[in-house]
Amino acid sequence: MGLAKTEIFTDQQNKIALFAKAFGHPARVAILQQLFKTDSCYCGNLVDEIGLAQPTISQHLKELKLLGLIKGNVEGTSVCYCIDEEIWTEMKIIMEDFLNQDLVNKQDCC
């Protein structure tokens, strides 16, 4: 299997790619939206609200947690998830800089 060669890219390029991955599946988008609406949530609540199977929700929660956008606190036998505000703010700044780039001195290329 080939390597991703992420080391040849800048830290910012790698972060942009990781953050963009969070929005690469509609289930993750729905989970993030639900977490913003309710401030915090358990996996079972997300299953009820989103309508996907528990293992599917758990896999997407794991991915969002690995990306750093959410965090989870163990409460008994359950995990309560919420948005990691510090990482979310960092992501917004990085993505805004990336998305607000202007095409300066760009001539017709086609």
Residue-range domains of the chain with CATH: 10-96 (1.10.10.10)
CB atoms within 10 A of CB 81: 24
Question: Which pLDDT tens digit goes with each residue over 9-27?
Answer: 999 999 999 999 999 999 9
The DSSP annotation for 45-74 comes to: HHHHHH---HHHHHHHHHHHHHHTSEEEEE
Residue 110: per-residue pLDDT: 63
Q: Which alpha helices (H) appear in 3-107, and where do they start and end?
A: 11-22, 26-38, 43-50, 54-67, 85-99
Residue that wins the pLDDT comparison between 106 and 97: 97
For the chain, give the percent of residues with pLDDT over 70: 89
The residue-averaged pLDDT of 45-69 equals 94
Q: Which element (helix H / strand E) includes 81? A: strand 78-83
Model confidence pTM above 0.85? no
Q: Letter for the amino acid at 110?
A: C
